[in-house]
Amino acid sequence: MRRYKVTLTTDASGNAVGYTPRIAGEIHQIEYVKDTASAGANAYANGVDFTITGEATGVNLWTQLDVNASVVVAPRMPTHDRAGAASLYASGGTGVQTRVGLASDRVKISIAQGGNTKVGAFHVVVA
């Protein structure tokens, strides 16, 4: 597995955009680290918004509003049969999900409402 760390500093409007290097594999997790110990008052403001996607395709990896603390997500996407219908578990009709794969693509991280010149870090774990 590989970990790609992206540290972003917001502009005066509280926005930032950054990218991982090109990656190929399945995304196991994405971690937002609100490092108040080293960033102190420069950590993202409470209420920061994230939109994290694959750059080439726009596949949604993580969208969350009003984040106040460090958080880890394990993005998944629905699976489908060969006709394009959602694959479901037989017992309850719950959708079957799988990890999101990227091939020679970058993960795009967009920040909004992070505060004026504030710093945060994201770790993208890929196998």
Cα–Cα distance measured from residue 52 to residue 4, given in angstroms and rounded to the nearest whole number: 14
User: Cα–Cα–Cα angle for 2, 51, 113, nearest 5°?
Assistant: 120
**pLDDT tens-digit readout, 78-88:** 898 899 988 88
pLDDT average, residue stretch 62-87: 93
CB crowding 92-114: b at 16 or more within 10 Å, else e? eeeeeeeebbbeebbbbbebbbb
Give residue 26's Cα distance to chain centre. 13
Residue 37, pLDDT > 70, answer no
Question: What is the pTM (predicted TM-score) of this model?
Answer: 0.90
Instruction: Write down the pLDDT at residue 46.
Output: 95
Domains of the chain: 2-126 (2.60.120)
Give the tokens for residue 4: 């790609």
- 31 versus 42: the higher-pLDDT residue is 31
Give the tokens for residue 56: 């080439």
Instruction: Write down the pLDDT at residue 88.
Output: 86
Q: If we measure between CA atoms, which residue out of 11, 16, 4, 1 comes closest to residue 110?
A: 16
For all residues of the chain together, what is the average pLDDT?
A: 93
- 48 versus 91: the higher-pLDDT residue is 48
Q: Identity (one letter) of the amino acid at 119?
A: V
pLDDT average, residue stretch 13-36: 95
Residues in the chain: 127
User: Cα–Cα–Cα angle for 70, 22, 111, nearest 5°?
Assistant: 35
